[in-house]
Amino acid sequence: MEYDLVVEGRVVLPGSVKDAQVGIRDGRISAVKRQGLRAERTIRAPDSCLVFPGFIDSHVHLREPGWEYKEDIRSGTLAAAHGGVTTVFDMPNNPTPTTSPVALDRKRRLAESKAKVEVRFFAGVTDANLAQLRLMAPSAVGFKAYLARSTGDLVLSNGGLAKAIPEVGATGKPFSLHCEDQAIIDSRASSRSSYADLRPPEAEVASVREVVGMVRKDGGVRANICHVSTAEALRLVEGSGGSGHRVHCEAALHHLFFTRKDLDGNPLLRTNPPLRGESDRVALLEGLVGGSVNSLVTDHAPHTREEKLSEGLAGVPGLDDYGHVVAWLVMRVGVDPLVVSRACSSDPASFFGLPDRGEVAVGRRGDLTVLDLKSPQRVAEGELQTKCGWSPYEGFEFPGGARWTVSGGRVVLDDGQLEV
Protein backbone atom coordinates (compact mmCIF):
# COMPACT_ATOMS: atom_id res chain seq x y z
CA MET A 1 0.00 0.00 0.00
CA GLU A 2 1.09 3.53 -0.76
CA TYR A 3 0.19 4.93 2.65
CA ASP A 4 -0.03 3.61 6.20
CA LEU A 5 -3.03 5.77 6.96
CA VAL A 6 -5.41 8.00 5.05
CA VAL A 7 -7.71 10.43 6.84
CA GLU A 8 -10.43 11.87 4.63
CA GLY A 9 -13.08 14.50 5.26
CA ARG A 10 -13.45 18.28 5.49
CA VAL A 11 -9.83 19.26 6.06
CA VAL A 12 -8.64 22.57 7.50
CA LEU A 13 -5.71 23.33 5.19
CA PRO A 14 -3.51 26.45 5.34
CA GLY A 15 -5.90 29.21 4.24
CA SER A 16 -8.92 27.09 3.26
CA VAL A 17 -11.23 24.25 4.25
CA LYS A 18 -11.61 21.57 1.58
CA ASP A 19 -12.76 18.00 1.06
CA ALA A 20 -9.50 16.10 0.93
CA GLN A 21 -7.58 12.96 1.74
CA VAL A 22 -4.48 13.18 3.91
CA GLY A 23 -2.01 10.36 3.24
CA ILE A 24 0.45 9.50 6.01
CA ARG A 25 3.54 7.34 5.51
CA ASP A 26 6.26 6.65 8.06
CA GLY A 27 4.70 9.13 10.48
CA ARG A 28 4.66 12.04 8.04
CA ILE A 29 2.06 13.61 5.78
CA SER A 30 3.17 12.54 2.32
CA ALA A 31 0.15 13.53 0.22
CA VAL A 32 -2.88 15.81 0.40
CA LYS A 33 -5.21 15.06 -2.52
CA ARG A 34 -8.83 15.38 -3.50
CA GLN A 35 -9.18 11.60 -3.96
CA GLY A 36 -7.51 8.39 -5.07
CA LEU A 37 -5.18 7.64 -2.11
CA ARG A 38 -5.04 4.02 -0.97
CA ALA A 39 -3.82 2.94 2.44
CA GLU A 40 -3.63 0.10 4.94
CA ARG A 41 -6.25 1.95 6.89
CA THR A 42 -8.64 4.75 5.95
CA ILE A 43 -10.47 6.89 8.48
CA ARG A 44 -13.53 8.49 6.90
CA ALA A 45 -14.50 11.46 9.02
CA PRO A 46 -18.27 12.03 8.67
CA ASP A 47 -19.74 15.35 7.45
CA SER A 48 -20.19 16.50 11.04
CA CYS A 49 -16.40 16.57 11.47
CA LEU A 50 -13.47 18.82 10.66
CA VAL A 51 -9.92 17.52 10.27
CA PHE A 52 -7.48 19.99 11.89
CA PRO A 53 -3.71 19.97 12.12
CA GLY A 54 -2.88 18.33 15.48
CA PHE A 55 -3.50 20.74 18.34
CA ILE A 56 -0.41 22.03 20.15
CA ASP A 57 -0.93 23.07 23.76
CA SER A 58 2.02 25.24 24.72
CA HIS A 59 1.10 25.53 28.42
CA VAL A 60 0.66 22.33 30.43
CA HIS A 61 1.72 21.13 33.90
CA LEU A 62 2.28 17.37 33.72
CA ARG A 63 3.50 17.25 37.37
CA GLU A 64 6.06 14.44 36.94
CA PRO A 65 8.47 14.07 38.65
CA GLY A 66 7.36 14.83 42.18
CA TRP A 67 3.62 15.25 42.10
CA GLU A 68 2.60 12.03 40.39
CA TYR A 69 -0.46 11.75 42.64
CA LYS A 70 -1.89 14.79 40.80
CA GLU A 71 -0.80 13.73 37.29
CA ASP A 72 2.02 11.92 35.55
CA ILE A 73 3.37 11.98 32.04
CA ARG A 74 1.29 9.00 30.98
CA SER A 75 -2.05 10.15 32.43
CA GLY A 76 -1.49 13.75 31.31
CA THR A 77 -0.65 12.76 27.74
CA LEU A 78 -3.63 10.37 27.64
CA ALA A 79 -5.80 13.34 28.65
CA ALA A 80 -4.16 15.26 25.80
CA ALA A 81 -4.97 12.51 23.27
CA HIS A 82 -8.53 12.40 24.62
CA GLY A 83 -8.85 16.15 24.04
CA GLY A 84 -7.33 16.11 20.55
CA VAL A 85 -3.92 17.48 21.54
CA THR A 86 -0.89 15.97 19.79
CA THR A 87 1.92 18.08 21.31
CA VAL A 88 2.17 19.52 24.83
CA PHE A 89 4.78 21.81 26.36
CA ASP A 90 5.39 21.01 30.01
CA MET A 91 6.01 23.74 32.60
CA PRO A 92 8.98 23.75 35.03
CA ASN A 93 7.26 24.25 38.42
CA ASN A 94 7.71 20.74 39.81
CA PRO A 95 8.81 20.14 43.43
CA THR A 96 12.33 19.81 41.99
CA PRO A 97 11.96 22.53 39.39
CA THR A 98 13.20 22.21 35.84
CA THR A 99 15.83 24.89 36.39
CA SER A 100 19.00 22.87 35.78
CA PRO A 101 20.32 20.79 32.89
CA VAL A 102 20.08 17.67 35.08
CA ALA A 103 16.39 18.22 35.91
CA LEU A 104 15.60 18.94 32.27
CA ASP A 105 17.34 15.78 31.04
CA ARG A 106 15.57 13.73 33.67
CA LYS A 107 12.18 14.89 32.41
CA ARG A 108 13.11 14.21 28.81
CA ARG A 109 14.13 10.68 29.66
CA LEU A 110 10.94 10.03 31.60
CA ALA A 111 8.86 11.23 28.66
CA GLU A 112 10.64 8.99 26.17
CA SER A 113 9.08 5.88 27.66
CA LYS A 114 5.81 7.28 29.02
CA ALA A 115 4.40 9.90 26.70
CA LYS A 116 1.40 9.02 24.52
CA VAL A 117 1.71 12.26 22.51
CA GLU A 118 4.71 14.52 21.91
CA VAL A 119 6.05 16.41 24.92
CA ARG A 120 8.51 19.32 24.95
CA PHE A 121 9.83 21.05 28.04
CA PHE A 122 10.22 24.57 29.31
CA ALA A 123 13.27 25.43 31.38
CA GLY A 124 12.49 27.62 34.38
CA VAL A 125 14.26 30.95 34.97
CA THR A 126 15.00 32.18 38.50
CA ASP A 127 17.38 34.74 40.00
CA ALA A 128 19.72 31.84 40.82
CA ASN A 129 20.13 30.05 37.48
CA LEU A 130 20.79 32.81 34.92
CA ALA A 131 24.26 31.41 34.22
CA GLN A 132 22.77 28.03 33.25
CA LEU A 133 20.25 29.17 30.67
CA ARG A 134 22.58 28.68 27.73
CA LEU A 135 23.29 25.12 28.83
CA MET A 136 19.60 24.27 28.98
CA ALA A 137 18.62 25.97 25.73
CA PRO A 138 19.31 23.07 23.33
CA SER A 139 16.96 20.76 25.27
CA ALA A 140 14.24 23.31 26.00
CA VAL A 141 11.36 24.42 23.81
CA GLY A 142 11.53 27.77 25.58
CA PHE A 143 12.09 29.44 28.92
CA LYS A 144 9.46 30.18 31.55
CA ALA A 145 9.46 32.63 34.43
CA TYR A 146 6.90 33.45 37.12
CA LEU A 147 6.83 37.08 38.15
CA ALA A 148 4.62 36.26 41.15
CA ARG A 149 4.40 33.26 43.45
CA SER A 150 2.16 30.44 42.31
CA THR A 151 2.22 26.64 42.60
CA GLY A 152 5.84 25.63 43.17
CA ASP A 153 7.00 29.09 44.30
CA LEU A 154 9.31 29.54 41.35
CA VAL A 155 9.84 33.29 41.07
CA LEU A 156 11.97 35.74 39.16
CA SER A 157 12.39 39.19 40.71
CA ASN A 158 12.04 42.35 38.61
CA GLY A 159 15.80 42.85 38.86
CA GLY A 160 16.30 39.27 37.73
CA LEU A 161 13.93 39.81 34.80
CA ALA A 162 16.04 42.67 33.48
CA LYS A 163 19.07 40.36 33.47
CA ALA A 164 17.16 37.34 32.16
CA ILE A 165 15.75 39.05 29.07
CA PRO A 166 19.11 39.43 27.25
CA GLU A 167 20.25 36.01 28.50
CA VAL A 168 17.17 34.29 27.08
CA GLY A 169 17.39 36.47 23.96
CA ALA A 170 20.92 35.20 23.35
CA THR A 171 19.69 31.59 23.32
CA GLY A 172 17.21 32.33 20.53
CA LYS A 173 14.47 30.44 22.43
CA PRO A 174 11.14 32.09 23.32
CA PHE A 175 10.45 33.41 26.82
CA SER A 176 7.01 32.64 28.33
CA LEU A 177 6.11 34.83 31.28
CA HIS A 178 3.49 34.43 33.99
CA CYS A 179 2.68 38.10 34.57
CA GLU A 180 1.29 39.16 37.92
CA ASP A 181 2.83 41.80 40.19
CA GLN A 182 3.78 40.29 43.56
CA ALA A 183 3.75 43.65 45.41
CA ILE A 184 0.17 44.33 44.34
CA ILE A 185 -0.87 40.81 45.33
CA ASP A 186 0.82 41.25 48.73
CA SER A 187 -1.02 44.52 49.28
CA ARG A 188 -4.33 42.65 48.94
CA ALA A 189 -3.34 39.77 51.20
CA SER A 190 -5.56 40.86 54.07
CA SER A 191 -8.64 41.33 51.93
CA ARG A 192 -11.30 38.85 52.91
CA SER A 193 -13.20 39.14 49.70
CA SER A 194 -13.24 36.86 46.68
CA TYR A 195 -10.13 35.08 45.38
CA ALA A 196 -10.46 37.22 42.26
CA ASP A 197 -9.74 40.33 44.36
CA LEU A 198 -6.69 38.80 46.04
CA ARG A 199 -4.97 38.67 42.64
CA PRO A 200 -6.68 41.63 40.96
CA PRO A 201 -6.59 42.74 37.31
CA GLU A 202 -4.19 45.56 38.26
CA ALA A 203 -1.57 42.97 39.27
CA GLU A 204 -1.63 41.48 35.77
CA VAL A 205 -1.76 44.85 34.03
CA ALA A 206 1.20 46.26 36.00
CA SER A 207 3.29 43.19 35.33
CA VAL A 208 2.47 43.06 31.60
CA ARG A 209 3.32 46.78 31.36
CA GLU A 210 6.69 46.12 32.99
CA VAL A 211 7.47 43.19 30.70
CA VAL A 212 6.37 44.98 27.54
CA GLY A 213 8.57 47.96 28.46
CA MET A 214 11.63 45.80 29.16
CA VAL A 215 11.19 43.66 26.07
CA ARG A 216 10.80 46.70 23.88
CA LYS A 217 13.99 48.23 25.29
CA ASP A 218 15.98 45.05 24.78
CA GLY A 219 14.48 44.06 21.46
CA GLY A 220 16.25 40.71 21.22
CA VAL A 221 13.87 38.32 22.94
CA ARG A 222 10.67 36.72 21.69
CA ALA A 223 8.36 37.04 24.68
CA ASN A 224 5.06 35.24 25.22
CA ILE A 225 2.66 36.59 27.84
CA CYS A 226 1.06 33.54 29.42
CA HIS A 227 -2.71 33.29 29.93
CA VAL A 228 -3.66 36.94 29.35
CA SER A 229 -6.86 37.39 31.33
CA THR A 230 -7.82 41.07 31.17
CA ALA A 231 -8.88 43.42 28.37
CA GLU A 232 -6.37 45.98 29.59
CA ALA A 233 -3.39 43.61 29.49
CA LEU A 234 -4.43 42.55 26.00
CA ARG A 235 -4.44 46.24 24.93
CA LEU A 236 -0.85 46.54 26.22
CA VAL A 237 0.14 43.47 24.20
CA GLU A 238 -1.56 44.89 21.10
CA GLY A 239 0.31 48.17 21.51
CA SER A 240 3.67 46.57 22.25
CA GLY A 241 4.95 46.60 18.66
CA GLY A 242 6.81 49.88 18.58
CA SER A 243 9.53 49.63 15.99
CA GLY A 244 10.17 45.93 16.59
CA HIS A 245 8.02 42.82 17.00
CA ARG A 246 5.09 42.99 19.33
CA VAL A 247 5.04 40.53 22.19
CA HIS A 248 3.15 37.32 21.65
CA CYS A 249 0.35 36.17 23.95
CA GLU A 250 -1.79 33.18 24.76
CA ALA A 251 -5.25 32.82 26.29
CA ALA A 252 -6.35 29.93 28.47
CA LEU A 253 -9.56 28.08 27.63
CA HIS A 254 -11.02 28.67 31.10
CA HIS A 255 -10.66 32.44 30.74
CA LEU A 256 -12.68 32.24 27.50
CA PHE A 257 -15.41 30.08 29.03
CA PHE A 258 -15.90 31.13 32.67
CA THR A 259 -16.05 34.42 34.58
CA ARG A 260 -15.56 35.38 38.22
CA LYS A 261 -19.26 34.80 38.77
CA ASP A 262 -18.52 31.09 38.29
CA LEU A 263 -15.53 31.38 40.65
CA ASP A 264 -17.29 33.01 43.58
CA GLY A 265 -18.31 30.17 45.88
CA ASN A 266 -16.50 27.50 43.86
CA PRO A 267 -12.87 26.97 44.97
CA LEU A 268 -12.44 24.35 42.24
CA LEU A 269 -12.26 27.24 39.78
CA ARG A 270 -9.39 29.04 41.51
CA THR A 271 -6.60 29.77 39.06
CA ASN A 272 -3.67 32.19 38.81
CA PRO A 273 -4.49 34.57 37.26
CA PRO A 274 -8.11 34.30 38.44
CA LEU A 275 -11.25 34.29 36.33
CA ARG A 276 -12.31 37.83 35.42
CA GLY A 277 -15.43 39.77 34.41
CA GLU A 278 -17.62 39.25 31.37
CA SER A 279 -16.12 42.24 29.52
CA ASP A 280 -12.65 40.70 29.87
CA ARG A 281 -13.91 37.33 28.64
CA VAL A 282 -15.49 38.99 25.59
CA ALA A 283 -12.31 41.01 24.91
CA LEU A 284 -10.29 37.79 24.86
CA LEU A 285 -12.73 36.16 22.42
CA GLU A 286 -12.51 39.25 20.19
CA GLY A 287 -8.73 39.15 20.46
CA LEU A 288 -8.75 35.52 19.40
CA VAL A 289 -10.84 36.23 16.32
CA GLY A 290 -8.93 39.43 15.52
CA GLY A 291 -5.53 37.77 15.93
CA SER A 292 -4.12 39.67 18.91
CA VAL A 293 -4.56 36.54 21.05
CA ASN A 294 -2.01 34.42 19.23
CA SER A 295 -2.59 30.99 20.71
CA LEU A 296 -4.96 28.92 22.86
CA VAL A 297 -3.71 26.87 25.79
CA THR A 298 -5.25 24.85 28.57
CA ASP A 299 -2.82 25.82 31.36
CA HIS A 300 -3.72 22.25 32.44
CA ALA A 301 -2.82 22.43 36.14
CA PRO A 302 -4.20 19.40 37.97
CA HIS A 303 -4.65 19.28 41.73
CA THR A 304 -6.82 16.79 43.57
CA ARG A 305 -10.35 17.82 44.44
CA GLU A 306 -9.41 17.56 48.14
CA GLU A 307 -6.44 19.93 47.71
CA LYS A 308 -8.64 22.39 45.87
CA LEU A 309 -11.36 22.33 48.49
CA SER A 310 -9.24 22.22 51.65
CA GLU A 311 -6.06 24.11 50.70
CA GLY A 312 -7.42 26.40 48.00
CA LEU A 313 -4.69 25.52 45.50
CA ALA A 314 -4.85 27.35 42.18
CA GLY A 315 -5.11 25.60 38.81
CA VAL A 316 -7.64 23.63 36.79
CA PRO A 317 -7.17 20.64 34.48
CA GLY A 318 -8.16 21.20 30.86
CA LEU A 319 -6.54 18.73 28.47
CA ASP A 320 -9.43 16.22 28.41
CA ASP A 321 -11.74 19.05 27.36
CA TYR A 322 -9.64 20.87 24.78
CA GLY A 323 -11.73 19.45 21.92
CA HIS A 324 -14.96 20.20 23.76
CA VAL A 325 -14.07 23.85 24.24
CA VAL A 326 -12.89 24.23 20.64
CA ALA A 327 -16.17 22.69 19.42
CA TRP A 328 -17.98 25.25 21.59
CA LEU A 329 -15.88 28.08 20.12
CA VAL A 330 -16.73 27.03 16.57
CA MET A 331 -20.38 26.11 17.01
CA ARG A 332 -21.60 28.46 19.75
CA VAL A 333 -19.26 31.46 19.53
CA GLY A 334 -18.91 31.33 15.75
CA VAL A 335 -15.10 31.21 15.62
CA ASP A 336 -13.84 30.40 12.10
CA PRO A 337 -12.10 27.00 11.85
CA LEU A 338 -9.14 28.79 10.21
CA VAL A 339 -8.79 30.87 13.38
CA VAL A 340 -8.80 27.64 15.38
CA SER A 341 -6.09 26.07 13.24
CA ARG A 342 -3.96 29.18 13.64
CA ALA A 343 -4.36 29.56 17.42
CA CYS A 344 -4.34 25.85 18.27
CA SER A 345 -1.66 24.70 15.88
CA SER A 346 0.21 26.82 13.34
CA ASP A 347 0.93 29.75 15.64
CA PRO A 348 2.45 27.76 18.53
CA ALA A 349 4.40 25.65 16.01
CA SER A 350 5.98 28.66 14.37
CA PHE A 351 6.45 30.79 17.49
CA PHE A 352 8.16 27.96 19.38
CA GLY A 353 10.20 26.83 16.40
CA LEU A 354 8.63 23.48 15.47
CA PRO A 355 8.48 23.76 11.66
CA ASP A 356 7.75 20.04 11.33
CA ARG A 357 4.13 20.50 12.48
CA GLY A 358 1.28 23.03 12.75
CA GLU A 359 -0.30 22.61 9.29
CA VAL A 360 -1.89 19.87 7.23
CA ALA A 361 0.76 19.96 4.50
CA VAL A 362 3.12 17.52 2.79
CA GLY A 363 6.29 16.95 4.80
CA ARG A 364 4.77 17.78 8.20
CA ARG A 365 4.37 15.22 10.98
CA GLY A 366 1.31 13.04 10.76
CA ASP A 367 -0.46 14.93 13.55
CA LEU A 368 -4.20 15.35 13.02
CA THR A 369 -7.14 16.22 15.25
CA VAL A 370 -10.58 15.23 13.98
CA LEU A 371 -13.30 17.11 15.82
CA ASP A 372 -16.90 16.06 15.60
CA LEU A 373 -18.81 19.34 15.88
CA LYS A 374 -22.26 17.80 15.92
CA SER A 375 -22.27 15.10 18.58
CA PRO A 376 -23.48 16.82 21.74
CA GLN A 377 -21.76 15.49 24.84
CA ARG A 378 -21.95 16.24 28.53
CA VAL A 379 -18.63 16.10 30.38
CA ALA A 380 -18.67 13.34 32.99
CA GLU A 381 -16.06 12.39 35.56
CA GLY A 382 -15.87 8.78 34.42
CA GLU A 383 -14.44 9.53 30.99
CA LEU A 384 -11.59 11.78 32.17
CA GLN A 385 -8.01 10.61 31.73
CA THR A 386 -6.41 13.22 33.99
CA LYS A 387 -5.33 11.57 37.23
CA CYS A 388 -6.85 14.34 39.34
CA GLY A 389 -10.20 12.92 38.27
CA TRP A 390 -12.29 16.06 37.88
CA SER A 391 -12.91 18.77 35.32
CA PRO A 392 -14.11 22.37 35.58
CA TYR A 393 -16.38 21.56 32.62
CA GLU A 394 -18.17 18.65 34.35
CA GLY A 395 -21.90 18.86 33.83
CA PHE A 396 -21.67 21.24 30.85
CA GLU A 397 -22.96 20.03 27.51
CA PHE A 398 -20.72 20.74 24.52
CA PRO A 399 -21.71 20.57 20.84
CA GLY A 400 -18.95 18.02 20.16
CA GLY A 401 -15.37 17.06 20.83
CA ALA A 402 -12.31 15.19 19.63
CA ARG A 403 -13.15 11.92 17.83
CA TRP A 404 -9.82 10.89 16.30
CA THR A 405 -6.36 12.01 17.40
CA VAL A 406 -3.43 11.01 15.21
CA SER A 407 0.06 11.61 16.61
CA GLY A 408 3.02 10.96 14.30
CA GLY A 409 0.80 8.71 12.19
CA ARG A 410 -0.39 6.65 15.20
CA VAL A 411 -4.11 6.71 15.96
CA VAL A 412 -4.16 7.42 19.71
CA LEU A 413 -7.87 8.30 19.89
CA ASP A 414 -9.93 6.13 17.57
CA ASP A 415 -13.56 7.07 17.04
CA GLY A 416 -13.68 8.30 20.63
CA GLN A 417 -11.80 5.32 22.10
CA LEU A 418 -8.32 5.78 23.53
CA GLU A 419 -5.69 3.36 22.27
CA VAL A 420 -3.72 2.87 25.47
Closest CB 197 distance from Zn ion, rounded Å: 19
Q: By rule CB under 5 A, what count of residues binds Zn ion?
A: 3
Which residue's CB is nearer to Zn ion, number 21 or number 391?
A: 391
Which residue's CB is nearer to ligand DOR, number 150 or number 391?
A: 150
Which residue's CB is nearer to ligand DOR, number 25 or number 61?
A: 61
Among 301, 370, 379, 406, the residue binding ligand DOR under the rule CB under 6 A is 301
The one segment of 26-34, 50-58, 63-71, 225-233 that binds Zn ion by CB under 5 A: 225-233
Which residue's CB is nearer to ligand DOR, number 30 or number 150?
A: 150
Report what 271 binds from ligand DOR, Zn ion, none; CB cut-off 5-8 Å by kind. Answer: ligand DOR
Instruction: From residue 289, give the alpha-carbon distance in Å to each of 60, 326, 334, 337, 341.
Output: 23, 13, 9, 10, 12
Report what 229 binds from Zn ion, ligand DOR, none; CB cut-off 5-8 Å by kind. Answer: none
Which residue's CB is nearer to Zn ion, number 267 or number 416?
A: 267
Closest CB 44 distance from ligand DOR, rounded Å: 40
Closest CB 391 distance from ligand DOR, rounded Å: 15
Contact between 276 and Zn ion by CB under 5 A: the answer reads no
Region of 26 on the Ramachandran plot (φ > 0 left; ψ -120 to 50 alpha; else beta): left
Contact between 107 and ligand DOR by CB under 6 A: the answer reads no
72 noted as active-site residue: no
Q: Which residue is nearest to ligand DOR (CB)?
A: 315
Catalytic one of 4, 299, 347, 367: 299
How long, in residues, is the chain? 420
Burial of 279 (0-12, 13-18, 19+ CB in 10 A): exposed
Among 25, 178, 254, 270, the residue binding Zn ion under the rule CB under 5 A is 178
Among 5, 29, 88, 314, the residue binding ligand DOR under the rule CB under 6 A is 314
Closest CB 150 distance from Zn ion, rounded Å: 6
Report what 93 binds from Zn ion, ligand DOR, none; CB cut-off 5-8 Å by kind. Answer: ligand DOR
Among 93, 240, 259, 385, the residue binding ligand DOR under the rule CB under 6 A is 93
> Per-residue x/- marks for ligand DOR, 115-154, CB under 6 A?
-----------------------------------xx---
Which residue's CB is nearer to Zn ion, number 29 or number 225?
A: 225
Contact between 176 and ligand DOR by CB under 6 A: the answer reads no
Among 315, 348, 408, 409, the residue binding ligand DOR under the rule CB under 6 A is 315
Which residue's CB is nearer to ligand DOR, number 311 or number 381?
A: 311
Which residue's CB is nearer to Zn ion, number 178 or number 254?
A: 178
Contact between 388 and ligand DOR by CB under 6 A: the answer reads no
Contact (Cβ atoms closer than 8 angstroms) between residue 298 and residue 59 = yes
SS (HEC) of the chain? CCEEEEEEEEEEECCEEEEEEEEEECCEEEEEECCCCCEEEEEECCCCEEEEECEEEEEECCCCCCCCCCCCHHHHHHHHHHHCEEEEEECCCCCCCCCCHHHHHHHHHHHHHHCCCEEEEEEECCCCCHHHHHHHHHHCCEEEEECCCCCCCCCCCHHHHHHHHHHHHHHCCCEEEECCCHHHHHHCCCCCCCHHHHCCHHHHHHHHHHHHHHHHHHCCCCEEECCCCCHHHHHHHHCCCCCCCCCEEEEEHHHHHCCHHHHCCCHHHCCCCCCCCHHHHHHHHHHHHHCCCCEEECCECCCCHHHHHHHCCCCCCCHHHHHHHHHHHHHHHCCCHHHHHHHHHHHHHHHCCCCCCCCCCCCCECCEEEEECCCCEECCHHHCCCCCCCCCCCCCEECCEEEEEEECCEEEEECCEECC
Q: By rule CB under 6 A, what count of residues binds ligand DOR?
A: 10
CA atoms of 316 and 262, how far apart (whole Å): 13
Report what 151 binds from Zn ion, ligand DOR, none; CB cut-off 5-8 Å by kind. Answer: ligand DOR
Among 82, 116, 178, 276, the residue binding ligand DOR under the rule CB under 6 A is 178
CA atoms of 24 and 6, how far apart (whole Å): 6
Q: Which residues are the active-site residues?
A: 299
Which positions touch Zn ion (CB under 5 A)? Answer: 178, 226, 299
- Residues within the interface to ligand DOR (CB under 6 A): 61, 93, 150-151, 178, 271-272, 301, 314-315
